Amino acid sequence: MAEQDWWRGSVTYQVYPRSFMDANGDGVGDLAGITEKLGHIADLGVDAVWLSPIFTSPMKDMGYDVSDYTGIDPVFGTLQDFDRLIAEAHRRGLKIIVDQVISHCSDRHPAFEESRVSRDNAKADWFVWADPHHDGTAPNNWQAIFGGIAWTWEPRRQQYFFHNFQRYQPDFNFHNPEVQAFHLDNMRFWLERGVDGFRLDTVNYYFHDRLLRDDPADFRPRPPGAIRPYDMQYHIFSKNQPENLEFLRKIRALMDEFDARVTVGEVGESHHPIEMMGAYTTGGRLNMAYSFEMLGPAFTPAHFRGQIERFFKGAPEGWPCWAFSNHDVVRHASRWETHGTDAESVAKQAAAMLLSFEGSVCLYQGEELGQLDTVLAYEELTDPQGLAYWPEETGRDGCRTPMVWAKDAPHGGFTSGTPWLPVKDPQRAHAADSEIGGRVLGFYREMLRLRRETPELRSGRTRFLDLPDPLLGFLRGDGVLCVFNLSPDPVRAETGLAVTPLLAQAASIDGTAVDLGGSGLLIGRVG
């Protein structure tokens, strides 16, 4: 693979810095702690590390509310700590990708503090401001993701400002060229400092409809469990605007000034997401789009096959990045445990499945240990989403609890202080040095080695086999067969192919058939 295209078929390991490793004992993970544990990541055999936000922030939304785009928040360390992390990662052959949260910022950002004072200052048009209706109500019906209307009144301007998320996260006005230039300059700062790419948060939220037209009602039946007014609308005006595509070309042009850099965009959309991922990764825009489509409860052959086929049919020149877990969803070992024989077997099967998919892959810290979601009491929560919607939604803290390095160490070896979220016994059972955690970790290392050493698993095209439920089967390239039993019950897969096993779990070969036990899998060389 050419160095410029290192990201094709790559595997990225997501680090949630607050919860990875605390080096100074204040209970919050930091850059020095990540540097200390880079050996763990490198030994897995991944290509890159994605750092969730580390920039200066009031931390009301754990760094997704940035107040300085070129500063490191003191809770994580200093710019010098970041430089040391970059140098050590590169020494170990790891790329570093940093989160860029540019659709919105913190209300403590100097630009917003200036903008909100009056209608005639230098930053007056940097954010989305609108007059009220004659009766004082908000300019339109746009809803905020975390609850309530997406507009907050500013008495000094006698106007509302727009925020897709919390009221302390005002949206930038990307129709203003100065805003675009500001963010491109901030990206250049980090590129010149040596980062290898950006994960672009909420990449389809940058532009809003200039006319501020109402979002229509969702044309689909309300999905089960949807409790937010936001979920009742079809967001064709508050985000997903065509101007987004041209700005992505500007980002790509900046990236192309540097060697071997990459962009991966988080496409947060419930309507036509696969099609949007395709559009965003063709025509000189993003290198990859990060998919939400495998982060939910669906665990069927038809679901996984459908996402992959739809993407490559709709965007044969595009490129996806698949994931099963991240910092925003229940960990997949918990989500899918009932679909297999036990959580450990499901964790191993999920690793083999994800790492055999066509595209690039992102792993979330702790999934290589088969880690489960943490059950938290209300008083233990920090996440604004959980605090707003408890108990119908418990929020995202359950997947953000600290990494457990040592089963018997205080706080699992994460910190010498009091951790910002608790380390509980079910998570200790999956520590890196525990029996379960060690077995799953060993399996991940083996599967990652297989993907790295098998060209078909990184770059081979996919041809799905027509197998009955609960079997998922496909060929990568011409020579590698992958078959998975997505159930706890034994089943036979009649593949019609003779294979030599490369990696297996609860599987045996009988001629051209494969007998798979519950959560069984087989990856083999054809012929």
Are 171 and 127 within 8 A, CB to CB? yes
Are 50 and 97 within 8 A, CB to CB? yes
Dist CA 68 CA 75 (whole Å): 14
Nearest CA to 49 out of 17, 84, 5, 1 is that of 17
Q: Which two tokens stand for residue 123?
A: 């930053």
- Inter-CA distances, 326 with 166, 248, 255, 295, 365, Å: 21, 24, 25, 8, 8
**Residue 405 φ/ψ region, left for φ over 0, alpha for ψ in the -120 to 50 degree band, beta for the rest:** alpha
Task: List helix spans (H) across 281-331.
Answer: 301-314
| Beta bridge partner(s), residue 265 | 200, 289
* DSSP character string of 36-97: HTHHHHHHHT-SEEEEPP-EE---TTTTSS-SEEEEE-TTT--HHHHHHHHHHHHHTT-EEE
Prior bond of 384 cis (ω within 30°): no
- Tell me whether strands 499-510 and 513-526 are parallel, antiparallel or unpaired: antiparallel
Helix axes 177-192, 243-255, angle to 10 degrees: 30
Dist CA 8 CA 30 (whole Å): 29
- Inter-CA distances, 527 with 478, 479, 499, Å: 10, 8, 5
The active-site residue, picked from 257, 259, 466, 510, is 257
Residue-level length of the chain: 527
Is residue 192 annotated as part of the catalytic site, yes or no? no
- What Rg, from alpha-carbon coordinates, does the chain have? 23
Are 276 and 269 within 8 A, CB to CB? yes
Q: Which two tokens stand for residue 429?
A: 């059972």
Amino acid at residue number 291: S
Dist CA 415 CA 422 (whole Å): 11
> Which residues are CB-neighbours of 404 under 8 A, at least 6 positions away?
366, 369, 371, 412, 413, 414, 423, 427, 428, 430, 431, 432, 434, 437
Is residue 269 annotated as part of the catalytic site, yes or no? no
The active-site residue, picked from 201, 293, 358, 367, is 201
Q: Which two tokens stand for residue 377?
A: 């009491």
Dist CA 177 CA 498 (whole Å): 59
Q: Which are the catalytic amino acids?
A: 201, 257
